[in-house]
Chains A and B, each alone.
Chain A
């Protein structure tokens, strides 16, 4: 019996090892490697001069690096707040609407996920055409509605570029919110909702007191997905405002900054692999701490409520 146990254990290694090796070698090790490289400087692919925290000090406090870095940081925060508003809050409300047993809601739930299946790049290009000043389908719609005075170069204006990009990302991933929230709401006990209604709860008090507390874990998951997605987003910026974050870096976020810093030539904003690694490391720490805080927050709220 014992010998058989021992034999069983050995075969387990062969079952787990392949997945473990690929996952470790191409996910964990590269991230650790990047962290290590962030303490080095030098030209080319392999920075070899140890510089301690110099790369970080440059990023935080030395012109022009600090200007680019903090600009990307605050843009990214704005981007995240706007996407949260559109995709998370409006997405939640739409999901509530689609779980009320209205006709066509099953169809709309299915439909809502189509944009999410597309490549972010394609969606970015598609909307850059729609907002394009030459073809300007969006401007033509405004003209039809008699709102001609609003027309402007949407993606060329510092004021409107980032909000438009946030709206496009939300358009694409709205379906993700719908799918998660409708699944969460469907799982709520009908009797609980019935009871609330008998007690005379209105629509909004029902949302606030029954639906929201019941699906808090789902709210947590959607929020974390948006958070991680937004703070590593790159494709949409590349497609709609190039990796430079046009116009004038007004749409530059962490993802595009990382790409330029690490992989672009110096004249296109490259600062070398060491600096790129430092940007990636800061992003990693930020995302990790952020996710941790969200987890703590949503768990606290849950234990308070139950």
Chain B
């Protein structure tokens, strides 16, 4: 391992690290403490820890602004989208990774190309299609778009993983009388569980946080997901600072907690491609 010998270099390095940590944490600290203060505390002692702690902002977000609905919408949308991304990507990756047929490389490249194609640029077409399917202003329009958005990364991660599963396993299963569906269900899926989890985890952030498609595809209040509701409430309660910061904290805490619990998977899933070169 590399070590920096010179003392001053070490000092500068630690100084930079402390500064960087402060730059990351200070805005988040500010967001959380402000959400627990009333307006008087916010203006007189903006940096101090809340004293007394006020839950009024959060309470109003749930009672006045019906935040529960938005949270439920986001949960349903995210769970459906992630389940479908994992399922459809696993099926396609299995077929592409384990069988030889014409055009297979082309199909794989076609899927993976989606990693750099910004789906937003097709928004006008998507809007037209959703209106045609009468899915406009429903959560299902979002689920479908998010599935299309997540498939490239899903196939990219799962293709490599499934290809690594030793062929002997499927071969002996075939001798034991398993057909190809059974091989998928009984061998490939159980062995790929870490990769399937990675696909769900890595897609969680873009799906939960997406603001663009709800902004275009959702009109009614009852079907708004969290990010769209955040924008609305931010404008509506602009002067009630405690409440505004409660809204921002509520939108962030689920993802932050999720990341801190599963950070190993996030980092592995995201950097996988970069290291292959």
Query: Which of B56-64, B65-73, B119-127, B190-198 lines the interface with chain A?
Result: B119-127
Q: Are B270 and A19 in contact (CB under 8 A)?
A: no
Is A82 part of the contact surface with B, judged by Cβ < 8 Å? no
Is A212 part of the contact surface with B, judged by Cβ < 8 Å? no
Q: Are A221 and B111 in contact (CB under 8 A)?
A: no
User: With A97-B13, A117-B255 in contact, is A15–B46 under 8 Å at CB?
Assistant: no
Q: Residue on B with the closest CB to A219?
A: B274
Task: List residues of chain B with CB within 8 A of the CB of A9.
Answer: 99, 101
Instruction: From the candidates A94, A117, A127, A187, name the one contacting B20 in the complex (CB within 8 A).
Output: A94
Q: Chain A at the B interface: mostly helix, strand, loop or mixed?
A: helix
Task: List residues of chain B with CB within 8 A of the CB of A228.
Answer: 116, 118
Listed residue (B24, B96, B125, B144) with the most chain A CB atoms within 10 angstroms of its CB: B125
Smallest CB–CB gap between B173 and chain A, Å? 14
Q: Are A135 and B43 in contact (CB under 8 A)?
A: yes
- Interface set, chain A 33-58, CB cutoff 8 A to B: 33-34, 37, 45-46
- Interface set, chain A 110-144, CB cutoff 8 A to B: 110-122, 125-127, 129-130, 135, 137, 140
Q: Are A135 and B116 in contact (CB under 8 A)?
A: no
User: With A22-B151, A105-B17, A119-B251 in contact, is A31–B4 under 8 Å at CB?
Assistant: no
Instruction: From the candidates A22, A119, A193, A273, name the one contacting B252 in the complex (CB within 8 A).
Output: A119
Q: Are A114 and B148 in contact (CB under 8 A)?
A: no
Task: List residues of chain B with CB within 8 A of the CB of A34.
Answer: 121-125
Q: Are A135 and B241 in contact (CB under 8 A)?
A: yes
Q: Bin the interface of chain B by size.
A: 35 or more
- Interface set, chain B 232-254, CB cutoff 8 A to A: 234, 241, 244-245, 248, 251-252
Listed residue (A117, A125, A130) with the most chain B CB atoms within 10 angstroms of its CB: A117
Q: Once bound together, how far apart are the Cα atoms of A191 and B269, in whole Å?
A: 27
- Interface set, chain B 47-105, CB cutoff 8 A to A: 47, 88-89, 91-92, 94-96, 99, 101
Smallest CB–CB gap between A164 and chain B, Å? 13
Task: List residues of chain A with CB within 8 A of the CB of B125.
Answer: 29-34, 37
State the interface size on chain A (CB cutoff 8 A): 91
Q: Residue on B with the closest CB to A281?
A: B121
Task: List residues of chain B with CB within 8 A of the CB of A304.
Answer: none
Is A284 part of the contact surface with B, judged by Cβ < 8 Å? yes
User: With A118-B252, A129-B245 in contact, is A110–B263 under 8 Å at CB?
Assistant: yes
Instruction: From the candidates A12, A28, A99, A234, name the one contacting B120 in the complex (CB within 8 A).
Output: A234
Task: List residues of chain B with CB within 8 A of the CB of A18.
Answer: 88, 91-92
Is B129 part of the contact surface with A, judged by Cβ < 8 Å? yes
Is A59 part of the contact surface with B, judged by Cβ < 8 Å? no
User: With A121-B211, A125-B248 in contact, is A30–B4 under 8 Å at CB?
Assistant: no
User: With A27-B119, A190-B1 in contact, is A102–B274 under 8 Å at CB?
Assistant: no
Is A245 part of the contact surface with B, judged by Cβ < 8 Å? no
Give 1 or 0 for each of B100-138: 1 = CB within 8 Å of chain A CB.
010000010001001011111111111111010000000
Q: Are B148 and A23 in contact (CB under 8 A)?
A: yes
Q: Are B117 and A12 in contact (CB under 8 A)?
A: no
Is A25 part of the contact surface with B, judged by Cβ < 8 Å? yes
Is B275 part of the contact surface with A, judged by Cβ < 8 Å? yes
Is B149 part of the contact surface with A, judged by Cβ < 8 Å? yes
Q: Are B120 and A15 in contact (CB under 8 A)?
A: no
Q: Once bound together, how far apart are the Cα atoms of A124 and B267, in whole Å?
A: 24
User: With A117-B259, A122-B248, A262-B124 in contact, is A102–B13 under 8 Å at CB?
Assistant: yes
Smallest CB–CB gap between A297 and chain B, Å? 15
Query: Which of A62-70, A72-80, A150-158, A178-186 lines the interface with chain B?
Result: A178-186
Q: Once bound together, how far apart are the Cα atoms of A167 and B19, in whole Å?
A: 16
Task: List residues of chain A with CB within 8 A of the CB of B14.
Answer: 102
Q: Once bound together, how far apart are the Cα atoms of A28 and B148, in whole Å?
A: 10
Other contacts beyond A110-B260, A118-B252, A120-B209: 6, CB < 8 A: A8-B180, A18-B91, A101-B2, A104-B17, A115-B24, A228-B118
> Can you name 6 A-B pairs with beta carbons within 8 Å?
A25-B129, A34-B124, A119-B227, A119-B230, A126-B27, A228-B116
**Chain B interface residues toward A at CB < 8 A:** 1-4, 9-10, 13-14, 16-17, 20-21, 23-25, 27-28, 30-31, 42-43, 46-47, 88-89, 91-92, 94-96, 99, 101, 107, 111, 114, 116-129, 131, 144-145, 147-149, 151-152, 154-155, 180-181, 184, 205, 208-209, 211-212, 216, 227, 230-231, 234, 241, 244-245, 248, 251-252, 255-256, 258-260, 263, 266-267, 270-271, 273-275, 277
**Chain A interface residues toward B at CB < 8 A:** 8-9, 11-12, 15-16, 18-20, 22-23, 25-34, 37, 45-46, 94, 97-102, 104-105, 108, 110-122, 125-127, 129-130, 135, 137, 140, 171, 174-176, 179-180, 183-184, 187, 190, 193, 197, 203, 217-218, 221, 224, 228, 232, 234-235, 238-239, 255, 258, 262-263, 273, 276-277, 280-281, 283-284, 287, 291
